[in-house]
Amino acid sequence: MSAPTQTSYDEVEYPSYAYAQTHPDRLATIATLLGMNPAPINACRVLELGCGAGGNIVPMAFGLPGSTFIGIDLAAAAIAQGQQFIQALGLKNVSLHQLDVMAVSEELGKFDYIIAHGIFSWVPQVVRDRMLAICRSHLNDHGVAYISFNAYPGCRLREIVRDIMLFHTRDVTDITERVEQGRGVIKWIAEAQKEKNSYARFLSETATRLADRSVGSIYHDEMSEINDPFYFHEFAKHASQHNLQFLSEADYFEGSVPNDLTDEVVAQVKQLNEQDPLAKEQYLDLLKGRSFRQSLLCHREVALARHPITDRVKNLFIRSRAESVSAQPDVRSDKPEEFRSTKGAAAVTDNPLAKAALVFLNKIYPQTVSFQDLMTNAVDLANLGSPDEQLSNMLASILTATYSVDLIELRVQEGVFAAIPSSFPLASPIARYQLQQANIVTTLFHNTLRLEGSLACELPRLLDGTRDRTALISEMTQIIKSNQTYDEARKNEFLRDLPQELEKRLAELANLGLLLG
């Protein structure tokens, strides 16, 4: 096979990050709830199409050493970076290959999970066909494929921005200059309006969003040669032509009906879900103005449940940092209490078991807990006597409902991380490696996180498991004294409170999923 030719991704690097919604745990959890029997994620095979520099698939491999991961991408430069990443971590269960999607053959074998994030809308039709064909031919019987794509109707607005940027830079050849001028013209038009009408506000918000993006991401997304959005019904039909069916969105709560719709519309959409689930998905996009989808597919032959099977929740693990609005929620009466997540999800409940479960989950965060352990603790907290089948079924229904509105996480595996810093704290080697290049790291929860401030970046670099608190304070003292951005008063303040500040920051790193010990 001849080597692939150089691509625009070799010329301009595209950021390679981790996406929690693509993780096998997420895919397996949803598949399990909807009636499938997915492969155990600690002994599975995963293929990523368009893996870039491995920012998504390599951390997966680190967290699931018993599984096998293969990534392919056309960009040689990205693959080389990813291979360095793998070598630095000493991983043997993941490999990256410079390979055209069109050249994928039976030699790769079958997979339990196939991931394609940020590629489907940016390739020609023939490649999209091939991607779906690969999902059909290379997925095991109960395998799950993840494909993200730009969606209508929301992308109609984004196409305005794209058209403006492409027109304004039509004669500009330098890539960095193209992106800067593209950003500039959006800001110029937004600020040109005397009255801030809806058009000006939209462009102003877009200009702010673009200002925080890298040159590579804007060049390969908004300003790419190909950027084709689709209506969901078009994507579902395309998948069906390859004998694949829609399973769910990777963010399961996206399939729920928003609370800000009228009661009449909510009832209509829920009824439609019983009659035609695919039509329901399309109408939700129209109601929400959705511009991006992260859809899961499986083989057409698999019998799926239309709603989560509550009994299956009992075999999962749960985590949540949803917090009661009340400082001291009453979990032993039928007094209504409101709970809110950090992402804005909210729910009000007067059910003592539900309130107790959410309070307990918040207390132990970031730890996950098994259904049975949550059951025991919630029943005790709510003073409901002894756990029984009725309470067990009630809790399963509560967890299904709160999962559907993004108030809790459900997982098939606990995950490997330290909720409490040890005597010799150990940061994730993934984050320590990434901090050698930039301040953007992958957590052990498979989230991408930007660490703000020099001290926030310096501390994890020191956490290699060889330093106790005394050694850490000594090294942090030298780092603070040599910091050129702090004045003497600021330095003295840090040094005075350093032992307490160290404990605070270690606890924060644990909460963020950056510690192994």
| Residue 505 in this model has a pLDDT that exceeds 90 | yes
Q: Which residues of 317-343 are buried (b: 16+ CB within 10 A; e: fewer)?
A: bbbbbbbbeeeebebeeeeebebebee
**CATH-assigned architecture of domain 310-411:** Alpha-Beta Complex (3.90)
Taking the CA of residue 219 as centre, how many other CA atoms within 13 Å lie in the half-sphere pointing to its CB? Answer: 20
pLDDT at 298: 99
For 198, counting Cβ atoms within 10 Å of its Cβ (0-12 exposed, 13-18 middle, 19+ buried), the class is exposed
Are 67 and 413 contacting, i.e. CB atoms less than 8 angstroms apart?
no
pLDDT at 221: 84
Express each pLDDT in 253-273 by its tens digit.
998 888 789 999 999 998 998
Taking the CA of residue 247 as centre, how many other CA atoms within 13 Å lie in the half-sphere pointing to its CB? Answer: 32
Confidence label for 252 from pLDDT (cuts 50, 70 and 90): very high
Locus of tokens 């001291």: 328
Express each pLDDT in 1-26 by its tens digit.
334 455 666 666 678 899 999 999 99
Are 146 and 113 contacting, i.e. CB atoms less than 8 angstroms apart?
yes
pLDDT at 1: 33
pLDDT at 3: 42
Structure tokens belonging to residue 496: 């005075």
| Residue 357 in this model has a pLDDT that exceeds 80 | yes
Sequence ranges of the domains in the chain: 8-152+229-299, 154-223, 310-411, 429-512
- What average pLDDT does the chain have? 94
Q: For residue 275, what are the contacts with CB-CB under 8 A and spacing of at least 6?
A: none
Orientation of helix 352-364 relative to helix 389-404, angle to 10° = 70
Distance CA 503, CA 331 (A): 31
182: closest CA among 164, 200, 155? 164
CA distances from 192 to 187, 202, 205 (A): 9, 13, 14
Mapped onto helix, strand or coil, the DSSP state of residue 2 is coil
For 444, counting Cβ atoms within 10 Å of its Cβ (0-12 exposed, 13-18 middle, 19+ buried), the class is buried
**Single-letter amino acid code for the residue at 238:** H
Write down how long the chain is. 517
pLDDT at 8: 64
Q: Helices marked H in 97-150 — which ranges? A: 125-138
Q: For residue 462, what are the contacts with CB-CB under 8 A and spacing of at least 6?
A: 472, 475, 476
Express each pLDDT in 373-425 by its tens digit.
999 999 999 999 999 999 999 999 999 999 999 999 999 999 999 999 999 99
pLDDT at 5: 52
pLDDT at 282: 97
pLDDT at 2: 38
pTM here?
Answer: 0.93
pLDDT at 172: 93
How many C-beta atoms surround the C-beta of residue 241 within 10 A? 12
Mean pLDDT, range 468-494, rounded to an integer:
86
**CATH-assigned architecture of domain 8-152+229-299:** 3-Layer(aba) Sandwich (3.40)
Distance CA 282, CA 233 (A): 6
Query: How, if at all, do strands 448-450 and 440-442 pair?
Result: antiparallel
Mean pLDDT, range 138-165, rounded to an integer:
96
Orientation of helix 498-511 relative to helix 454-462, angle to 10° = 80
- Percent of the chain predicted with pLDDT > 70: 97
pLDDT at 130: 98
pLDDT at 389: 96
| Residue 228 in this model has a pLDDT that exceeds 70 | yes
Express each pLDDT in 87-121 by its tens digit.
999 999 999 999 999 999 999 999 999 999 999 99
pLDDT at 10: 60
